[in-house]
């Protein structure tokens, strides 16, 4: 049976010289292609003081005696590029393995950064949520889509800077958002999948800060299918439209179209108007403002 054996493991000081040695080591055929974006990401982490000890691995093939680099390509490249700007105190965990043949190297590759063990955006969001008492009990899936929707609204509608990547989940710390997020947790569920969409949540937030009392009633009505006795009720028409959009896999709506359609229905409700369909084009006149 193909296997691998750990020969040694040690924590070492990470220096440019060691990085160069690791960088120049012959790679295994299993190694991924160098990704400049990943190198830049690591450089940013190192420069900002957010680097944890790097996991480097070398593997020796018993049948030939050849030693290869099994992990550490991107981090060693990042360290070399930083050169004199390399912070002090960096560490690397250097593991050395032995395998009977290259099939063992393939198996080892699969264990390093195992896909099922990687941190997902949902995992990161849950960590940020979990340290904020006021929002910790919200369904994590709802809480995440809430922050994603808020970020989309600020970036696309308000045009203000928004933290990039996983840093966006630091928005859980904004106390002014907690009332909306908790209401969202009470409103969204498995029974309302058509509402669990970032731009739809963005529209919910835009209406919430415009008229909270009516927003609470309107979106609960949408989630329940609207008025069963009035097919032209804005909540009814909007829910039908959102459900149809979710089921249409061939002609998917753009994020801005979801948002525009929701605000169109909201404005119709506020003006006590009945509608037959949803108007969602935003490119000609721009996004509607909730009234």
Q: Mean pLDDT throughout 276-289?
A: 96
Same domain, 247 and 131: yes
Residue with structure tokens 């990943």?
38
Same domain, 50 and 100: yes
Residue 10, classed as helix, strand or coil, is strand
How many distinct structural domains can be found in the chain? Answer: 2
Look up the domain containing 198 and give its range: 121-270
- Strand runs labelled E in 49-104: 54-61, 67-71, 91-99
Same domain, 136 and 87: no
Same domain, 68 and 137: no
Helices then strands, each counted (H, E), the chain: 11, 4
* Confidence bin at 115 (pLDDT 50/70/90): low
pLDDT at 24: 95
Q: Quick check: 1 pLDDT over 60?
A: no
Q: For the purposes of burial, counting CB atoms within 10 Å of the CB of 76, is it exposed (0-12), middle (13-18) or buried (19 or more)?
A: buried
Does 62 reside within a domain?
A: yes
Same domain, 263 and 178: yes
Q: Quick check: 254 pLDDT over 80?
A: yes
Q: What sign does the dihedral 281-284-290-291 (CA atoms) show?
A: negative
Return the number of other C-beta atoms located less than 10 Å from residue 121's C-beta.
Answer: 13
Does 276 reside within a domain?
A: no
Same domain, 174 and 241: yes
Does 47 reside within a domain?
A: yes
Of 72, 94, 117, which closes a domain?
117
Same domain, 103 and 166: no
Q: What sign does the dihedral 129-132-136-138 (CA atoms) show?
A: negative
Same domain, 107 and 212: no
Q: Quick check: 113 pLDDT over 80?
A: no
Does 286 reside within a domain?
A: no
Return the structure tokens found at 106: 């393939």
Same domain, 173 and 133: yes
pLDDT at 103: 82
Return the structure tokens found at 246: 């979710």
Q: Mean pLDDT throughout 237-244?
A: 96
Strand-pairing partners, residue 8, are 96
From edge to edge, which strands make up the β-sheet containing 54-61?
5-13, 91-99, 54-61, 67-71
Angle at which helices 121-130 and 140-152 pack, to 10 degrees? 100
* Separation CA 72–CA 23 (nearest Å): 8
* Confidence bin at 120 (pLDDT 50/70/90): confident
* Separation CA 235–CA 240 (nearest Å): 9
* Residues contacting 229, CB < 8 A, separation 6+: none
């Amino acid at each position: 049976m193909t296997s691998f054996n750990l020969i040694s493991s040690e924590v070492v000081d990470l220096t440019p010289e060691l990085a160069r040695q690791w960088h120049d080591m012959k790679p295994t055929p299993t190694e991924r292609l160098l990704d400049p974006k990943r190198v830049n990401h690591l450089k940013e982490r190192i420069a900002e003081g957010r680097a944890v000890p790097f996991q480097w691995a070398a593997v020796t093939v018993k049948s030939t005696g050849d030693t290869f680099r099994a992990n550490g390509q991107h981090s060693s490249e990042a360290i070399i590029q930083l050169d004199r700007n390399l912070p002090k105190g960096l560490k690397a965990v250097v593991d050395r393995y032995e395998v009977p043949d290259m099939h063992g190297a393939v198996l080892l590759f699969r264990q390093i950064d195992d896909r099922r063990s990687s941190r997902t955006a949902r995992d990161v969001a849950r960590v940020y949520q979990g340290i904020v008492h006021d929002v910790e009990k919200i369904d994590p899936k709802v809480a995440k889509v809430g922050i994603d929707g808020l970020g989309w609204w600020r970036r696309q509608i308000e045009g203000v800077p928004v933290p990039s990547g996983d840093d966006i989940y630091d928005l859980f710390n904004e106390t002014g958002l907690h009332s909306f997020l908790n209401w969202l947790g009470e409103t969204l569920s498995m029974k309302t999948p058509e509402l669990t969409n970032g731009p739809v949540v963005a529209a919910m937030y835009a209406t919430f800060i415009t008229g909270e009392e009516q927003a609470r009633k309107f979106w609960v009505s949408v989630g329940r299918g609207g008025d069963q006795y009035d097919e032209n009720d804005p909540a009814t028409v909007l829910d039908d439209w959102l459900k149809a959009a979710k089921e249409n896999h061939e002609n998917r709506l753009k994020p801005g179209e979801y948002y525009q359609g929701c605000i169109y229905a909201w404005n119709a409700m506020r003006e006590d108007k009945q509608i037959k369909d949803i108007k969602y084009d935003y490119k000609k006149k721009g996004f509607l403002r909730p009234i």
